[in-house]
Homo-oligomer: A and B are copies of this chain.
Amino acid sequence: MNGSFDGEGGVAGAHRDTAQVDMSMAPPRASGPVGVPGARLVTPSPTAASRPVPGPRDVVDGPIPLPTTESVPLDLICTVERHLDEILAAVPQPHPIELAVLDAQGLLCAEEVESRRALPAFDQAALDGYAARADDVEAATPQVPVELAVVGETVAGAGAEASIGPGLAVKVAAGAMLPTGADVVVPAVWTDQGTVRVAVQSGPPPGGYVRRTGEDVAPGDVAVQVGTPIGPAQISLLAAVGRERVLVRPRPRIAVLSAGTELVDIGTAPAPGQVVDVNSYALAAAARDAGAEAYRSGILPTDPRRLGEVLESQLLRSDLVLIAGTFATDGFDPVQEALATLGDMRFRQVTMHPGPAQGFGRLGRDEIPVICIPGEPVAALVAFEVFVRPAIRLMLGKRQLFRRTVQAVAGQELVSPLGYRQYLHGTVMRHPDGGYVVEPVGDGTEALLARMARANCLIVVDEDVTQVAAGGLVTVMPLLLGG
């Protein structure tokens, strides 16, 4: 029921819709000094489309060298949309599990929770006052109060049922059981708050300020529906109907691994040429942030037998395996070899920047999905956002798989390779005059961790756009922590 306020936005604002350009099997040609059919420039003016198309940019000298899409074998090239669709079609829906209500926090309910109880379980006072008969107090006014004899007092939790007749009242605390015969609670503030006799200055209509048995939830009512996110209010309701445990969509278990001969663990001082494994840390954090139960399994061994053993054991205990690493497109790669023995693993050039080298397969006896993403840490976190986070949210049962996007004014010119969807880290801010302004944290060509850490969004530039002028509108995906 969080509607458009769950931080993920409705379909209209979700990322998916902002980049629907289907490159399919025939991306536009983009090589050499010839014309660039299909290239689009985004300029500040809404009449830009009618302006003459500027001369072709020399792609060879562009700031982001990528293979021209025609130079890659067709069966290896793939759009972001197609690769994502394949992943989303293949991720399993983990079986619902029963958890203690507090452990269910943040997950989606996987059962129709029917209440076996009425809420409230008995007629009770909605506030502090006097239980009375509506007929007796109907005519009361501040000028001509009605006097009742106070024959007792009931506090919350007391079970002994009193009973009243005409002209009588029982002093009641909020939540106290209503005595038999009473059909109204006169708020204390409408009386002189007497203890032996009480002067009532106004009478509520019959049933006034009485919480009736079953008014909140009747036995058999569905208290929490399938698909409802379980937050504090749902936990309150589940506890009230006496549920200690509830069936939920579990957090998917995700093993996070790094591959690369250059990697050493964080505690080791890297030798010349070596670098610290940052991906298994950053991606485990990202997976946890997306709602998964992430296991950081560290750097994959290079010995083929041990490599195979590690991969197989991860497949046995995970709902999804995520591997960040450098996958050689030519020459021998021991990780690719090991994965190939476990099932059909497809490595591809996805038309995106950074990080076109992506892989996906379903491996092992249980056909566990395995997602391979680039080893360069900035590209790895981009690939996580684009492919892995939606997969985790799908496994969690969320309806909104994609982050909300907004249109923002580019604070400076952006360039983007033709035929590739570009993701740039940036900072987006509200503009004083309304709307948003975004600046890239670098020039978009360099993978720098310190810059990425200053970003609060990804700027998404479509495949057919090569240039966004300063002042032009661009799609921005705010990276809300926890969102």
Q: Could you list which residues of chain A lie within 8 angstroms of chain B, going by C-beta atoms?
A: 1-7, 10, 32-33, 60-61, 65-68, 71, 101-102, 105-106, 119-122, 126-129, 142, 155-161, 173-177, 187, 189-190, 201-202, 209, 211, 215-217, 221, 223-224, 228-229, 231-240, 242-244, 260-263, 266-267, 269-279, 281-286, 288-289, 296, 326, 328-329, 375-377, 381, 384, 427-430, 446-457, 478-483
Which of B60, B120, B273, B454 contacts A275, CB < 8 Å?
B120
Contacts of A326 in B (CB 8 A): 156, 173-175
Cβ distance A302 to chain B, nearest Cβ, rounded Å: 10
Q: How far is the CA of A438 from the CA of B164 in the complex (A)?
A: 43
Q: Closest chain B residue to A175 by CB distance?
A: B262
Q: How far is the CA of A245 from the CA of B386 in the complex (A)?
A: 29
Copies of the chain in the assembly: 2
Contacts of A282 in B (CB 8 A): 232-233, 235-236, 239
Contacts of A427 in B (CB 8 A): 1, 3
Contacts of A66 in B (CB 8 A): 189
Contact A65 B189 (CB under 8 A): yes
Which of B5, B102, B173, B283 contacts A232, CB < 8 Å?
B283
Given contacts A262-B157, A381-B232, contact A5 B202 (CB under 8 A): no
Contact A288 B159 (CB under 8 A): no
Contacts of A267 in B (CB 8 A): 244
* Minimum-distance CB pairs A-B, first 6: A157-B262, A65-B187, A236-B282, A159-B273, A157-B261, A239-B278
Q: Counting chain B CB atoms within 10 Å of each CB, which of A157, A296, A376 scores highest?
A: A157
Contacts of A120 in B (CB 8 A): 275
Contact A456 B106 (CB under 8 A): no
Q: How far is the CA of A389 from the CA of B329 in the complex (A)?
A: 51
Which of B3, B266, B275, B455 contacts A233, CB < 8 Å?
B455
Contacts of A161 in B (CB 8 A): 272
Q: How far is the CA of A87 from the CA of B429 in the complex (A)?
A: 31
Given contacts A102-B285, A381-B236, contact A61 B260 (CB under 8 A): no
Contacts of A274 in B (CB 8 A): 157, 159
Given contacts A60-B202, A159-B274, contact A429 B175 (CB under 8 A): no
Q: How far is the CA of A272 from the CA of B281 in the complex (A)?
A: 54
Contacts of A215 in B (CB 8 A): 446, 448
Contact B272 A209 (CB under 8 A): no
Contact A233 B273 (CB under 8 A): no
Q: How far is the CA of A297 from the CA of B243 in the complex (A)?
A: 18
Q: Closest chain B residue to A140 by CB distance?
A: B60
Cβ distance A62 to chain B, nearest Cβ, rounded Å: 10
Q: How far is the CA of A142 from the CA of B31 in the complex (A)?
A: 11
Contact B240 A65 (CB under 8 A): no
Q: Closest chain B residue to A296 by CB distance?
A: B102
Given contacts A5-B456, A156-B261, A201-B60, contact A236 B447 (CB under 8 A): no
Contact A3 B216 (CB under 8 A): no
Given contacts A5-B456, A60-B201, A233-B282, contact A177 B223 (CB under 8 A): no
